[in-house]
Structure 1
Amino acid sequence: MYVRWLRLSTGLILATYIILHLLNLALGLLSIGAMEGFRKAVTEIWYHPVGGILLYFSFLTHFLLALWSLYRRSNLRLKAWEAMQLTLGLLILPLAASHIIGIRLRAELFHVEVTYPQVVAKYWLEPWLGWKQVILVLVIWLHMTIGLHYWLRLKAWYPKALPVLYLAAALLPVLALLGLARTGLTIAPELASPEWVARLFAPYMPQQEAVLKPIEHWSLAVMAGMLLATLAAREIRRAVRNRYGSFRMSLESGRRVIAPVGLTMLEAIRAAGIPHASVCGGSGRCTTCRVRVNAGLDALPLPNDTERRALSRIEAPRNVRLACQTRPRRDLAVMPLLPPSASAQVARRLGAVQGHEQTVTVMFLDLRGSTALGERMLPYDAVFVLNRFFAEMSAALKETNGHYAQFNGDGLMALYGLERGVEAGCRDALAGAAAMFRRLAALNESLEAEMGQALQMGIGIHTGEAIVGTMGPPDAPTLTAVGDTVNVAARLESETKTFGCRIVVSETTAAGSGYDFARFPRHTAELRGRTEPLPVFAVDDADALTMQPA
């Protein structure tokens, strides 16, 4: 817990520093005077004793935490983003050492104020230093944005803010480098004058370099030594662990993993090359790595504070554990509860550990005449059309807060209201149906020449209690729903043929939405498996579903 808090707090301090630094460089697009004015204001923060201690403590701590992260991993089979984050974290301090020593340490030891004209002139006269600075900016920025992304993506508001944040993440470093380049071009004519260069660097004395250069070399040597010591410690730990035996973990898929005692379940699974969900990277924040322990539960160590808090947040039963936090010492059997592709949205969803009762709105969609489509077209062309169709339907679901729960060849099942509540789920489902028919019309128009006949579909929508949870094969479970509500929604889709309409909406959904359905024909549907007829509305004008509440 404390390591995670330390990583987050020092990371936020460094993020504040780099954002202010890049904004300062971007002001070079205006003038050198603007850069210098902003630098002096920012200097008041970081040259203050408290600000300076926080900043350089954060630089050092972040480097040490990167070494700790490297040490604690039992193997280096990492996801691409984890490998990049770790590598960039190890590079920041070595790349920044000369910059820190040449500017801050010079100011502290020799009371020399380093200005932007001096820094940019140095880069212009020694281009390799300039390119090194560009690389440093990109390394820090990438490390920062990856870290912030994987921290914030578990927040409910984050997906909506992504477009703005992506734009800012792309623009700021570009503007900063352009500002740096413009400043260089501004002073480049002056650099042809030896007298001007001599006056600019007059505060720089040879004795300063005689002191600072050895410090830079020693600092790089110490950091390299720390990295080598960390790698050596990993090998020593591996040898020690091998002396304490191993455990065997049986997975629901039939695979068996043998790993040395001391590894977490997640590390053991990944070391065997088996994909496993872990949205947060194994820090115990997201719960997507959770497993159900089918055998060996009593032999497992008790959950630590991080695991206990995470599991209580989703109200997990006793036999559910986090693979990233649990270190078995004896043989056990487990079943992953989420697919390897589980997203941050699933991580935020309460009760997604196993099936639970929830009131949801279920939509069934069926594509009419798919068999005839296959007869009229070449197989490749038919697949192309179907893929386009389902891509459009999936996009409609995404824009109306729907969840793609099931695919059955020529139709799909979607769930609404998983997170937004019953009323919002009813309205979202109606908006989703309208969006689907709009997208179908556009698709038919674009593919008219290829198909020769427009695609048609029917939709059934019903709201009620269902069992919602992750179901399916052990290697690829899916978040879906089962129960009478699902069966009714499927039957209502078939009733579109009976009533000669595009959409059949149950009275339950209509009432839950708060919309006025008086304009639509009302029927009672006799559904197989139900003793009582179900009141429904037959809708042919999909756009009319999105009318304002009564």
Structure 2
Amino acid sequence: MKIASSRTRKRLHLLSGACLGLFLLTHFSNHALGLVSVEAMERMRVVFNLFWRSWPGTILLYGSLLLHFLLALESLYRRQTLRMPVREALKIIFGLSFPFLIVGHVVSTRIEWMLTGSGDGYYDVLPVLWSSTFGATRQSLALILAWAHGCLGAWFWMRGRNWYPRYFLFFYSFAVLVPLLALLGFAVAARSLEVGMPSEAWFMSNHARPEILAQIRLSIVAGLLAMIGATLILRAIPVRGKVKITYPDRAISVPKGFSVLEAIRAAGIPHISICGGRGRCSTCRVRVTEGVHRLPPPNEAEKATLMRIRAPDDVRLACQLRPNHNLSIAPVLGADNIGLKAQPSEQQAAGRERRIAVLFCDLRDFTLLAQKQLPFDTVFLLNRYFETIGEAVEGSGGVIDKFIGDGALAIFGLSNTIEEACAQALAATVRIANGVEVLNRNFMSELDTPLRIAMGMHAGPAIIGQIGYGKASSLTAVGDTINAASRLEGFAKEYDAQLAVSADVVRYAGLSVGDRESYNISIRGRAGTLETLIIQNAAEIGIMMASANHPKGTPA
């Protein structure tokens, strides 16, 4: 049940939807003139019918309606799971229910006009519709559902555009006012007429026989139900063979034909997909960690999006990728991809003074870099960077105090000696530098300039406690030691180096300053100067630690 290629289907869906939206807009605008008079509605109806009741207009309108419905059924058939966000579900429900609500109206106006030539103007239709509560309610509900379906479709298409936030208020106001004015015009015009069912003689002289129209309505409804039923039956036919999609913390077994996004949602795993699974954005992308060489090639829509974000070969769109073999994936965007482990409890580290090592780490020129990236690509890069920092710090024995913008504050020594804490902190700087190098290699194609870091480190006494207000409180450290480490991170940027570390930290860790050049740096708010080593490349710390063969010392 594949009508055309993915990109062609999307274009046909968009064009047919735009045609139907234009018809609804002109039709509702005609209704809104009921606020002026029924005569104004009739004059505009003549203009309205010049195109929409011509043969080209009729073919365009009903061809778009049929095509849109068939594309919706085809999309429903290809969807391997009915588990989806509420907005997507409402869009599908509105779209499939709308034809049933307008069948009666279409038969009694357009089809009857084609059979008898009867115009069925507002003077004729309004009394019939408002002669019963059911007729008026059904017509109003059809109006609302049709417009809601169109607005949801337009929203799915526009929300990823850069210009959409600037015009959101205008679009929102427009979406509310159009059906509101149409309903008001519809009601006011009907009430201005003498509402009542026309006589049977009038019906017989101006309309087709009721039984003929009833048969036509029944045939159309039966055809629509048959198409929906056939689609659901085809979906229920099991597909031979299964594939296993391994997530970082679980494995999902699904029939072949599922997209990765459908498999993830069927398993109840939250996953971002801003465009609703249409390949129009890159927010659902995943990194294929195993099985990348056996994947089917990307379709046109996926290829265009991946090229736009300069994604490497192992990154695919979860909504478009339908694997034929087992594979392993890792999410790229999401709330759970920082990957930090649990920090010490408040009882272990609240309200006490300790000697600790403090590490500040910051990305250089990241604001300029973010201006050249898509918003979700910026989030992606930050999450990968934070993941690198978190794993390096915790793998070395420290904890993350907080993330600040594109910077991070880490603490070492909450449960061990200051000597061990300084050695751990220095080891973390080596891991961070290596991790950033890996990021630069992995995302070379997506970055105009490589990521660069600046780190500052100092050791000394600090107050550890749960600080803040309400849900904004957290376990943190305050004191001169933290202030000094923050200042040293700024000095690392000034010297275009990866690390500015106080000599105290190096000596506590049992390393020799030796003949390395040091700087006596003045720190604002602190008496005296602080002996500091400027390390151009943090890998030098690893060499120093590897060559150290003497016991840990204490600062002079």
Q: TM-score, normalised by structure 1?
A: 0.63
Shift of the 178–353 alpha-carbon distance from structure 1 to 2, 3 Å rule, reads: closer
Shift of residue 199, structure 1, vs aligned partner: 11
The amino acid that maps onto 2:60 is L
For 2:235, the equivalent position in structure 1 comes to 234
Shift of the 26–469 alpha-carbon distance from structure 1 to 2, 3 Å rule, reads: farther
Structure-1 separation of matches of 2:284 and 2:261: 7
Shift of residue 18, structure 1, vs aligned partner: 0.7
Shift of residue 355, structure 1, vs aligned partner: 3.9
* Percent identity between the two aligned chains: 34
Measured on the aligned residues, the alpha-carbon RMSD in Å equals 4.2
- Structure 1 residue 290 and structure 2 residue 285: aligned? yes
Deviation string 1:251-276 (CA, Å, 9 cap, x unpaired) is: 12x11111112211111111111111
For 1:214, the equivalent position in structure 2 comes to 215
For 1:542, the equivalent position in structure 2 comes to none
Mapped contact 1:247–1:260 kept (Cα < 8 A) = yes
Mapped contact 2:279–2:301 kept (Cα < 8 A) = yes
Q: 1:414 aligns with which of 405, 410, 415?
A: 405
Shift of the 231–487 alpha-carbon distance from structure 1 to 2, 3 Å rule, reads: farther
Shift of the 349–32 alpha-carbon distance from structure 1 to 2, 3 Å rule, reads: same
Shift of the 468–152 alpha-carbon distance from structure 1 to 2, 3 Å rule, reads: farther
Mapped contact 1:75–1:267 kept (Cα < 8 A) = yes
For 2:224, the equivalent position in structure 1 comes to 223
Structure-2 separation of matches of 1:199 and 1:347: 69
- Structure 1 residue 131 and structure 2 residue 133: aligned? no
Q: 1:330 aligns with which of 325, 328, 335?
A: 325
For 2:244, the equivalent position in structure 1 comes to 248
Structure-2 separation of matches of 1:170 and 1:11: 19
**SS of equivalent to 1:291:** strand
Mapped contact 2:130–2:136 kept (Cα < 8 A) = yes
Q: 1:311 aligns with which of 306, 310, 319?
A: 306
Segments ≥4 residues shifted beyond 3 Å: 197-208, 345-356, 466-471, 481-488, 493-498, 523-532
The amino acid that maps onto 2:256 is V
Shift of the 347–497 alpha-carbon distance from structure 1 to 2, 3 Å rule, reads: closer
Shift of residue 487, structure 1, vs aligned partner: 6.6
Equivalences for residues 317-466 of structure 1 within 5 A? 317-339=312-334, 348-349=374-375, 351-352=377-378, 355=381, 413-414=404-405
- Structure 1 residue 276 and structure 2 residue 271: aligned? yes
Aligned length: 394
Structure-2 separation of matches of 1:348 and 1:117: 54
Structure-1 separation of matches of 2:255 and 2:66: 32
Equivalences for residues 24-35 of structure 1 within 5 A? 24-35=30-41
For 1:484, the equivalent position in structure 2 comes to 453
Shift of the 527–50 alpha-carbon distance from structure 1 to 2, 3 Å rule, reads: farther
Shift of residue 162, structure 1, vs aligned partner: 0.6
Shift of residue 484, structure 1, vs aligned partner: 3.2
**SS of equivalent to 2:254:** strand
Shift of the 17–486 alpha-carbon distance from structure 1 to 2, 3 Å rule, reads: farther
The amino acid that maps onto 1:278 is S
Structure-1 separation of matches of 2:437 and 2:213: 64
Q: 1:152 aligns with which of 152, 158, 169?
A: 158
Deviation string 1:56-89 (CA, Å, 9 cap, x unpaired) is: 1111111112211211111111110111111111
Mapped contact 1:337–1:353 kept (Cα < 8 A) = no
Deviation string 1:404-430 (CA, Å, 9 cap, x unpaired) is: xxxx88x863369xxxxxxxxxxxxxx
Deviation string 1:293-339 (CA, Å, 9 cap, x unpaired) is: 11111111121222111101100001111111112122211101011
Mapped contact 2:73–2:231 kept (Cα < 8 A) = yes
Shift of residue 39, structure 1, vs aligned partner: 1.3
Deviation string 1:129-183 (CA, Å, 9 cap, x unpaired) is: 1111011001101101111001001111101111111111112211111111111
Name structure 1 gaps, 5 residues minimum. 357-407, 417-465, 472-480, 499-503, 509-522, 533-550
The amino acid that maps onto 1:414 is G
Shift of residue 233, structure 1, vs aligned partner: 0.9
The amino acid that maps onto 2:177 is L
Shift of the 126–346 alpha-carbon distance from structure 1 to 2, 3 Å rule, reads: farther
Structure-1 separation of matches of 2:483 and 2:262: 53
**SS of equivalent to 1:125:** coil
Shift of residue 495, structure 1, vs aligned partner: 12
Mapped contact 1:316–1:351 kept (Cα < 8 A) = no
For 1:83, the equivalent position in structure 2 comes to 89
Shift of the 91–299 alpha-carbon distance from structure 1 to 2, 3 Å rule, reads: same
Shift of residue 528, structure 1, vs aligned partner: 9.4
Shift of residue 36, structure 1, vs aligned partner: 1.2
For 1:440, the equivalent position in structure 2 comes to none
Shift of the 67–347 alpha-carbon distance from structure 1 to 2, 3 Å rule, reads: farther
- The structure with the larger Rg is 2
Shift of the 527–353 alpha-carbon distance from structure 1 to 2, 3 Å rule, reads: farther
Deviation string 1:477-522 (CA, Å, 9 cap, x unpaired) is: xxxx98536879xxxx999989xxxxx9x999xxxxxxxxxxxxxx
Equivalences for residues 104-143 of structure 1 within 5 A? 104-143=110-149
Structure-1 separation of matches of 2:336 and 2:126: 46
Equivalences for residues 492-531 of structure 1 within 5 A? 531=534
Structure-1 separation of matches of 2:266 and 2:311: 26
For 2:74, the equivalent position in structure 1 comes to 68
Structure-1 separation of matches of 2:63 and 2:51: 15
Name structure 2 gaps, 5 residues minimum. 1-6, 338-370, 383-399, 408-434, 441-449, 458-478, 485-489, 495-521, 536-556
Mapped contact 1:277–1:341 kept (Cα < 8 A) = no
Shift of the 204–264 alpha-carbon distance from structure 1 to 2, 3 Å rule, reads: farther
Q: TM-score, normalised by structure 2?
A: 0.63
Mapped contact 1:352–1:470 kept (Cα < 8 A) = no
For 2:390, the equivalent position in structure 1 comes to none
Structure-2 separation of matches of 1:220 and 1:81: 26
Mapped contact 1:279–1:288 kept (Cα < 8 A) = yes
Mapped contact 2:243–2:255 kept (Cα < 8 A) = yes
Structure-2 separation of matches of 1:140 and 1:528: 72
Mapped contact 1:294–1:319 kept (Cα < 8 A) = yes
Shift of the 53–339 alpha-carbon distance from structure 1 to 2, 3 Å rule, reads: same
Shift of residue 127, structure 1, vs aligned partner: 2.4
- Structure 1 residue 36 and structure 2 residue 5: aligned? no
